[in-house]
Structure 1
């Protein structure tokens, strides 16, 4: 669990609601079913129009990364690559074949397979970098779903406010309904801004951070495997790969 995501949401909503209460407002004034339906339904509908199904499914799968980011163990990966290097140096590349099936990371497993197959270092780099860039691009497209929500939500909120004001204008003959009607109209704007700036955009950026970390891990694996293919000393490989762990 990413404690900062949960803490951030609590602080954001707590600060907004707390400030409103201090000013003498009431939580009930922020509860409006029609406004919620307009903003959430309208925003999701607009984003679905621009989003292919495969990207939508990936976005749903990646949404959990905002709360449960994937583990990116750089030090563990370095230790594993150094172990592979020692085996290759002492017993030959073919001995690494036993580690292919045991490797849980598909990217690392593919890298090992290319190494065992005797591919040239530059060919290995080209294949793995292509695989890495495609994976990163697919995940960033999923982030685009949340960025789309962040872009549309405020505008849909304004639409909800305008619709509410239209309803208010229809009751001009009854001044007692004007104040409450106008307040309810602007609730849609608040929903839109909250959905965009407290939820969608921060979630998208948090997921993007996890994607960058995974890309760095892939780069580490590529450099390590290429070094093994060149027959470099395990100690030199370890020293070089430590640069990827720098914050």
Structure 2
């Protein structure tokens, strides 16, 4: 579980409720619950996004919220170690020995790359195929990110629509001064709901998915460079130095201290 995302979303709610309680007490919580406003803001936003996407992409977009709650398995050091291990196997036993090792890998992207070089595919063609695969993965991710961006944009818009509906109803009751205050409160609550939907949920989710996509693309880029270096028959030590360039200075220092300056494998 991704503690940062879960904690952040929960704390947003805590801060919001704490602000209500400190300004109006427990009884004030009821003032912020309005079923018609919820229906207009959340229902209208979701329906607009549904109209903008295919049903399959809409369902996948909603389900992608679960990805925010999971800790992404994107460890650069682990990926580099795995590639160096493969390079040592290829150097000692030949490229064909990688086929057996590929069966034990969980990463389908890396496995596909290994099988391509084992089959003797031209190096430029391997790069083209892997780059196309990476572009396809990023495109699928961007569709999910776009879902939350679109929902975040619709929230405030439908909040404003709900506010206008509330204002129309309020103005029709101007002859009753006692109805003006409650009517105005109801009108404004939809704008609040729209802002909460956009800034409490959609923007953080889209940002987290965007960050995860960038990190995954970076790791897959490392895999491509590593596999092409293995195919070219480069020395594992050279491959290690090449891939260490992807590490931050802190991680590089930690890498060197763990390995005592000696090549991995």
Tell me the TM-score range normalised by the shorter chain.
Answer: over 0.9
> 3-state DSSP class of the match of 2:246?
helix
1:63 to partner: Cα distance: 1.8
**Contact (CA 8 Å) 1:65, 1:210: kept in 2 or not?**
no
Q: Residue in 2 aligned with 1:5?
A: 5
1:12 to partner: Cα distance: 2.2
Between the aligned partners of 1:224 and 1:143, the Cα distance in structure 2 is: 29
Structure 1 vs Structure 2 CA RMSD:
1.5
Structure 1 unaligned residues grouped into runs of 5+: none
Q: Name the count of aligned residue pairs.
A: 247
1:13 to partner: Cα distance: 2.4
Between the aligned partners of 2:72 and 2:61, the Cα distance in structure 1 is: 15
Query: Are positions 1:42 and 2:29 aligned together?
Result: no
Matches of residues 146-225 of structure 1 in structure 2 within 5 Å? 146-225=148-227
**Contact (CA 8 Å) 2:49, 2:58: kept in 1 or not?**
no
Q: 1:69 to 1:28 in 2, by over 3 A?
A: same
TM-score, scaled relative to structure 2? 0.89
CA deviations 1:61-112 (Å, max 9, x no partner) are 4221211132112212111111111111111111111022221111011001
Matches of residues 222-241 of structure 1 in structure 2 within 5 Å? 222-241=224-243
1:204 to partner: Cα distance: 0.6
**Contact (CA 8 Å) 1:58, 1:139: kept in 2 or not?**
no
79-88 vs 37-46, which deviates more? 79-88
Matches of residues 117-156 of structure 1 in structure 2 within 5 Å? 117-156=119-158
1:85 to 84, 87, 90: 87
**Contact (CA 8 Å) 1:69, 1:210: kept in 2 or not?**
no
Q: Residue in 2 aligned with 1:23?
A: 23
1:29 to partner: Cα distance: 0.7
Matches of residues 90-129 of structure 1 in structure 2 within 5 Å? 90-129=92-131
